[in-house]
Amino acid sequence: MSLNMADSSKVNANYARTSEDAATLPAQEKEHGKSLRHFRPRFFPTLAALLLLPLFISAGQWQWNKATIKGNLQKDLDARGAEPSILIPTTLVDPQLLRFRKIVARGHYETQYQIMIDNRIHREQAGYHVITPLRLEGSDTRLLVNRGWVPALAEHHLVPQIATPTGIVEVSGTAVVPSSRFFTLGVDDVSNKSEWQSVWQNLDLGRFGKAVDFPLQPIVVELDAASTAGGFVREWRRPDERLETHLGYALQWWSFAATTVVLWLLVNFRRRS
């Protein structure tokens, strides 16, 4: 009887040892499998990552900077627009000092030097911005006034007729400094033309100044919506327009950069042969 019990104890001990070995075997195999993986950068994945990472990061930073600039411009517009209006002097002004300030000016329009800026879109309809010089009262200095948007005609080669007040008018609006960076199809020297060119692709103050023989204020006034000085549609674009879009693009480009890093790491971890 005692012999049978001793044999049974030995069997149970052997079974427990076998079970323990069987339980530790998968863990050992798993640990052994881990030891077989190592990091070895491959040439082509590494080259692709080195080329793509700076591109994605730079593109994201560029979009972020654009959003920052637009946000700062909108802050300037809101702050300066809340200040009292300024009566524009007859002497030439510093454009940066008056940028986004509320402006009041008196004079009469000179339609012989009026221009229309083509391809201005309002609610998905093509048209023009009407830019008319205002000769300041008691002076030879002119001030360009953006009177707003008018629709283009069905036959685009025809220019719409623009009604303009005569006599002395008082204009009020916001002073803006047009961008000097834009794309123009071809080179057009208006100073060599015998007739005034009324349709322009962009509002170029430098070009306008070369085409006329009178002093010109280095700003443009966007006519207020409440002004009665011969305005048209005046829904002016905010400086921060599409700011959220630029932020979204920045995050998208940076996510591409992060994904590139993750993929590069996954590709370069390999098993030992």
* Distance, CA of 188 to CA of 163 (rounded, Å): 27
For residue 1, the model assigns a pLDDT of 47
Q: Which residue has the tokens 């036959």?
A: 155
pLDDT digits (tens, 9 = 90+) for 154-175: 998 899 999 999 999 999 999 9
| Nearest Cα to Cα of residue 153 among 128, 132, 129, 122 | 128
Instruction: Look at residue 36 in the predicted model and tell me its pLDDT.
Output: 63
Q: Average of pLDDT values for 114-131?
A: 95
By the 10 Å C-beta count (0-12 exposed, 13-18 middle, 19+ buried), 14 is classed as: exposed
Cα distance between residue 159 and residue 197, in whole Å: 12
Among 104-108, 149-153, 223-227, 264-268, the range scoring the smallest mean pLDDT is 264-268
Decide which of 37 and 259 is more confident.
Answer: 259
> What percentage of the chain exceeds 90 in pLDDT?
70
Q: What is the pLDDT of residue 41?
A: 86
Give the pLDDT score at 34. 52
Name the residue among 161, 164, 174, 146 with its Cα closest to residue 108.
164
Dihedral angle computed from the Cα positions of residues 83, 89, 91 and 96, in that order, rounded to the nearest 10 degrees: 10
Q: Where are the alpha helices (DSSP H) in 92-142?
A: 95-98
What span, in angstroms and rounded, lies between the C-alpha atoms of 24 and 157? 86
Least confident among 36-45, 242-251, 254-263 = 36-45
Grade residue 11 by pLDDT with cuts at 50, 70 and 90: very low
In the predicted structure, residue 97 carries a pLDDT above the cut 60: yes
Instruction: Say what the pTM is.
Output: 0.74
Instruction: Indicate the range of 168-172, 239-243, 244-248 predicted with least confidence.
Output: 239-243
For residue 186, what pLDDT band results from cuts at 50, 70 and 90? low
pLDDT of residue 2: 47
Mean pLDDT of the region 58-66 = 96
Supply the pLDDT for residue 234. 95
In the predicted model, is pLDDT for residue 152 greater than 90?
yes
Q: What is the pLDDT of residue 270?
A: 72
* Average pLDDT score over residue span 246-257: 96
Angle between helices 43-81 and 243-268 (to 10 degrees): 160
CA–CA dist 189, 197 (Å, integer): 10
The chain-wide mean pLDDT, for the chain, equals 86
